[in-house]
Structure 1
């Protein structure tokens, strides 16, 4: 099994990170892009380069443990690996590689005292709070080995009420790889690695205006009482059946156990083969129903908080959401059940009866949660210059750094967001160019610090980018990350120092550029004379 180009890039980003940084990185990849293969490939490479390394991969559900272990065995049949999970009835301690359930491993941290690297799948489940299973376990391992590293994998690098996982107080310090952004997500769809989501606005929307909040989301018993009404459920089920007439497999998210069972009964009354899974079932019964659904014995599956993670069914082509939420994480995870591609599957239809889209946005450009107590004043009044990466006040018509003119803002129609589950951008045209020369110049700022202008000569074309070392926030971090990819020396904090140390930088041999926009955008760099991986396939060089 050969990793896709972005899976190889993700693996390499972890190694690059540890060469230059000392924190705990996150790898951010949308659901369906193959995190399990990245984890397996990283483990195999780590033990190849560093044969005495001991690695523990932990997660919260047995399904993910099995999926991740299966992927490792596929690419490395003789891997020195065992499973430590009560849910899988295996406690194989002492292996150099262990795939474990966090609840089981946490009871015996001393068994993993010699661990060098902890990998966490579904890392968004680790809260900032110290007194949680994950935090207690990791802290216990650090007592045995203070130098242990933690690498997280997730499609959603944020938590409700906490903000970003990399905010102060969390386990993770940096994002070393991210292909969940709007442009990257749409590129994966264009390349066939993700399935598109399409929306038809349902004829009704669940009314939750009187439901109180707790912990930033709806109070569950009140939420279920508000939406679990026969007339509403009947209308929703009738519409799902109508809209799903030419769809193969339907997944329904309900607002509670009772609600899920009632929705299932409505399908039964209409002779639609349907199953329901929820937390009050025994594991064996639930596992059998999920297996039967995957095998096609049921057309519809209704669930309550069961199939948001660790559930892989690529042939799902209709998702019906009857579970209102204010959690961006939960919303993106629900939508992610439909993005796995499959031959013959053109897209996945989403019926958002819950109104989550207009509250939380599309899957590739969601509303990011704030840290609790940080206020609720809405989005900050800033706009980012796509040309040079500088933040400007939203009232500005031109970028104060590079002079780029901002597009005029237009008002959106009232219900536009409820129909847009994947925010559209112009389909990117990505080309690879061989770099023949690089010029570095100081770029004077307009009422802002100077920046570094980097111009790449590629045959008859020149592509430029701006690195803002003296800026704060995103622009400054972008510049420092750019430097770390090219030098083992710490990043400078002034343009003068940058220019004095230019000779220490590694120079990319190739660059990937999105060319179909006013200012071509440099997307990636290769410092290898063979081009971009896979190296056994010749790189197509644009002219």
Structure 2
């Protein structure tokens, strides 16, 4: 960690200070519990320690409870507070760590150990929840029972959640719904921002030509059935191991994610059979063995580790510079957490980036890691729809023939079992501009929002997808100038008429005065593609 610890004082990064200040501001102006959305590597333990320090400066008898699901996170978070406030009355309540200091002013605990102890804790002013996405909305859980009891004992207790993935596969965004436990995002710092600031390394991919086929794997509890998924992974294990060993030749430490202990054993044996050291870590691996394995991986004495249901949070092995995805999952949060294990800086090594070898289809299902968003909550929101490419009729997603104009939607081909998966970009900034052929153009009025003027919407039909450009015709001078430049490029050669002064005039003149480009260049902007340039037949 690049932060400096000097004489009990910690130098926070600028965004860490901003996160703390923004969260206090949110709590002063809102009821309920906020979330600090901080990606892997942001230093959530430092942010929490600073919240505790400031809370103590405001009220010297403040009682703060930090809870999470992981004993390793308890250990790490307690260590950060001890570095910042070595004089503080801090303690740990965790059976896994063999410590039960229930009365400390700043108490760090696992929910598994304290969930029945709400009435024994006494006064609590503030609860900090690390990895807040692990909390279910259901009341009949350890979290539900504890939060209900602690609120009975402390009617004015406040709560702050911290996570880099503020959503759950089973219930969507943590801040949506009447039964939500958190009520807003007080601050956000994402993966791409941390990469750009130099606090994380970028993740890169390479085409593999190999992919786990999940087309016949059924879903259980919202994700792939582990038993069937194990069989699907086993069918490609030998070929995948050959492939990632070759790709990882110049990589220092590998972390491999598998769906089950059975498949992990097959992967480990295949890796060892090719002369490469490999161990398995599962959720049931005892803490001593886990520390020995991860320590060897950190030192370079062990080349690879296969993870089953663990090593996704609370793990810091900076030298890891290759992530092998052999665990397909429907959980976008889990994908971010697994990729995140390879993004930490590793001073003293040659690590410049992290290679993601994506046999599991993480990128094809979930997209670039910095653009992944919460899934829609089950049972909420309208049914998915699509628009007819010919007449713009909105239709249910399953309709293949438009009842208005008869347009036939192209059939979606089922992918072959082993498609190239890793040719996709791992970060949105890695998507390259590309040129696509245009088969038709349509023009329409786009109504401006929030008082902004209407624009001319230009739809470029490529036969597979429609890309849109919004041309300013009315409004401020600068906008109108941009619109005139676009019009002059798009009009038929020899036409010297002045550009239209209104959207209505543009719609009237466009069909006869403007030509369809031969191709357009599209560039990535966030989750979408925008039209950058047009190429006409007369151009070279």
After TM superposition, the score normalised by the length of structure 2 is 0.70
Asked whether the 8 Å contact 2:277–2:304 carries over to 1, the reply is yes
Asked whether the 8 Å contact 1:120–1:151 carries over to 2, the reply is yes
Secondary structure of 1:227's aligned partner: helix
> Paired residue for 2:36?
27
The RMSD of aligned alpha carbons is 2.8
| Cα displacement string for residues 96-152 of structure 1 (whole angstroms, at most 9, x for unaligned residues) | 100101110112112223111110000000111111111211111000011111100
Asked whether the 8 Å contact 1:161–1:370 carries over to 2, the reply is no
After TM superposition, the score normalised by the length of structure 1 is 0.70
> Paired residue for 2:180?
170
Which of residues 328, 334, 338 is equivalent to 1:334? 338
> Paired residue for 1:346?
352
Regions of 4+ moved over 4 Å: 375-381, 414-418, 445-451
> Paired residue for 1:390?
none
Q: Distance in 1 between matches of 2:385 and 2:110?
A: 38
> Paired residue for 1:276?
280
Q: Distance in 2 between matches of 1:292 and 1:326?
A: 31
Asked whether the 8 Å contact 2:358–2:421 carries over to 1, the reply is no
Asked whether the 8 Å contact 1:248–1:299 carries over to 2, the reply is yes
Asked whether the 8 Å contact 2:359–2:422 carries over to 1, the reply is no
- 1:379-390 map, 5 Å: none
Asked whether the 8 Å contact 1:361–1:367 carries over to 2, the reply is no
Change (3 A) 1:415 1:322: closer
Structure 2 residue ranges without an equivalent (≥5): 1-9, 388-392, 395-418, 432-445, 453-524, 526-540
Structure 1 residue ranges without an equivalent (≥5): 382-392, 395-413, 427-444, 452-517, 519-543
Q: How far off its partner does 1:361 sit?
A: 1.2
Which of residues 116, 134, 151 is equivalent to 1:125? 134
Secondary structure of 2:127's aligned partner: strand
Which of residues 81, 84, 96 is equivalent to 1:75? 84
| Cα displacement string for residues 362-393 of structure 1 (whole angstroms, at most 9, x for unaligned residues) | 21101431111237855898xxxxxxxxxxx9
| Cα displacement string for residues 224-248 of structure 1 (whole angstroms, at most 9, x for unaligned residues) | 122123xx21111111111111111
> Paired residue for 2:68?
59
Asked whether the 8 Å contact 1:158–1:329 carries over to 2, the reply is yes
> Paired residue for 1:434?
none
Asked whether the 8 Å contact 1:275–1:293 carries over to 2, the reply is no
Which of residues 231, 246, 258 is equivalent to 1:242? 246
> Paired residue for 1:509?
none
Q: How far off its partner does 1:335 sit?
A: 0.8
> Paired residue for 1:420?
425
Q: How far off its partner does 1:290 sit?
A: 2.4
Q: Distance in 2 between matches of 1:153 and 1:201?
A: 35
Is 1:156 aligned with 2:162? Answer: no
| Cα displacement string for residues 441-476 of structure 1 (whole angstroms, at most 9, x for unaligned residues) | xxxx9665558xxxxxxxxxxxxxxxxxxxxxxxxx
Q: How far off its partner does 1:293 sit?
A: 2.2
| Cα displacement string for residues 32-76 of structure 1 (whole angstroms, at most 9, x for unaligned residues) | 111110011111111011212100000111110111111111122
Asked whether the 8 Å contact 2:366–2:372 carries over to 1, the reply is yes
Aligned length: 403
Asked whether the 8 Å contact 1:358–1:418 carries over to 2, the reply is no
Q: Distance in 2 between matches of 1:241 and 1:290?
A: 20
- 1:300-449 map, 5 Å: 300-343=304-347, 344-374=350-380, 377-378=383-384, 419-424=424-429
> Paired residue for 1:97?
106
Q: Distance in 2 between matches of 1:226 and 1:320?
A: 16
